[in-house]
Structure 1
């Protein structure tokens, strides 16, 4: 689940990067950056995966992620009236570390950025405030752009509803936490390696050397969904990537992601994305052309 390394767009004369992304839907497989990333998603619903954390995607969903943290995002459907809009900020660790070391006023940022290595989710109120600050930032002088980023940092520090994404809702000892983390990593690795095969909860339980009830509890607690739901999403999300990035016919793609019946694949795909596989491919091609 390391994810491919994606390069961040450059801004000449700027110490940090900023971009607004407009698209009819979101379908990004596992990837990571060398930089910190702040992302605010608007006008969409779906799922956001940060490390082993599965978060619901909603309007004004705001995440801060540290360098190298793998993440993936998929919207539920292709937007009809509202275009999905994402505000993204990137900044490099050496740069922000140097600022914190030189500026006493920025010392509180250190703990926040350490937590960002596990992923941080902020309130929708903070997201709205940040969006308002970013609307005209590209038209500002470079010094005012940097001042805007400092204001954004201040808003993040003031948010009292920040969620640390790697924290479990269940209190555990360090040994239990380590064992659970290991089981989660083995689960994801197993599903990503065998998603196109006929696998079941019992297969996974044997692989983990756990009882089936323990595996069900693992999914309920840490993935907030059942084994079958999680496997289905993996298969359909990979199908989305193949529809966008290959010219393979749907009949071949469904076999490659573990389906045997096209009618069943089409039905589940449409229930998940609210559009047929061919409709999804056509819409993404229209947007990119």
Structure 2
């Protein structure tokens, strides 16, 4: 799952870019940027995908996404909200790392930027404060725009309720065997996702009980073994749809499905489009 590379136009004589977007609906398929992206979503509900992670969007939803991390976003077609408001900030990796190298005071940003490679979601309170901070920023003199960005960085660093979205493994103070076990489990799934595998197969591979496998996935991925396996299969299917011309019935077999209707149903529930429409959209990108 790569997503098409979306190029972000840079502002002349500016180190970062800010945009406010208001539209009736929101439907952005899988894409990525070379820049860091901070996105605030307001006044609508929908779904946000970051890597293999999916969560719901409600008013005041803010995510921080690192370079080359695929993501997608869709508003719900429930008619409840007529305007989807999004505030987006982009800045280049080289620029922010040069800043940190020159300014010791910005050293705390290192961890924030590192965590952004797995996606970060912030609290609604921080999101509201960030939105207020950005109000009218584009009309400020350039030096005040930059200080506003620094103030925004400070807000993000202070959010104790921020959550990392994907690839969450055991905290550093837990037994290292847990982290090693997760790595072995992921390697096993990536090697065998096309086969008919179940919890007991992974349990035997790891030499642990089936209940231990279930707890492992619930604790560290916040989802079941079967949900995680399904995401791997569907994400690989996306790669094949995007980067090959293989017929869909062949792709289905390669990712472990034996029923096309079931695959189509699960794919549309996960990506909000049919496999055929997804391939067509990626080819146009």
TM-score normalised per structure 1: 0.70
Structure 2 counterpart of 1:264: 262
C-alpha distance in 1, partners of 2:169/2:244? 40
RMSD of Structure 2 on Structure 1 (CA): 4.2
Alpha-carbon deviation of 1:264?
Answer: 1.7
Structure 1 counterpart of 2:14: 14
C-alpha distance in 2, partners of 1:46/1:147? 29
Structure 2 counterpart of 1:149: 149
Alpha-carbon deviation of 1:201?
Answer: 1.8
State the secondary structure of the residue aligned to 1:217. helix
C-alpha distance in 2, partners of 1:225/1:95? 38
Compare relative contact order (CA 8 Å, sep 6+) and give the higher one, 1 or 2: 1
Structure 1 counterpart of 2:91: 90
Q: Deviation per CA, 1:209-261: give whole Å up to 9, x if none.
A: 32222111101111111111111122223323443444443222222222122
Contact 1:16 1:90 in 2 (8 A): yes
Structure 1 counterpart of 2:121: 121
Q: Deviation per CA, 1:27-60: give whole Å up to 9, x if none.
A: 25xx796x6553445653144348xxx4624244
Structure 2 counterpart of 1:45: 47
Residue range with higher mean Cα deviation, 241-250 or 208-217 = 241-250
Structure 1 counterpart of 2:198: 200
Q: Assess, with a 3 A threshold, how the Cα gap between structure 1 residues 84 and 235 changes in structure 2: closer, same or farther.
A: farther
Structure 2 counterpart of 1:56: 55
TM-score normalised per structure 2: 0.71
Q: Assess, with a 3 A threshold, how the Cα gap between structure 1 residues 75 and 210 changes in structure 2: closer, same or farther.
A: farther
Residue range with higher mean Cα deviation, 117-126 or 39-48 = 39-48
Q: Assess, with a 3 A threshold, how the Cα gap between structure 1 residues 285 and 7 changes in structure 2: closer, same or farther.
A: closer
State the secondary structure of the residue aligned to 2:257. coil
Q: Assess, with a 3 A threshold, how the Cα gap between structure 1 residues 47 and 24 changes in structure 2: closer, same or farther.
A: closer
- Which runs of 5 or more structure 2 residues have no equivalent in the other structure? none
State the secondary structure of the residue aligned to 1:219. helix
Contact 2:194 2:256 in 1 (8 A): yes
C-alpha distance in 1, partners of 2:269/2:73? 12
Contact 2:7 2:33 in 1 (8 A): no
- Which runs of 5 or more structure 1 residues have no equivalent in the other structure? 102-106
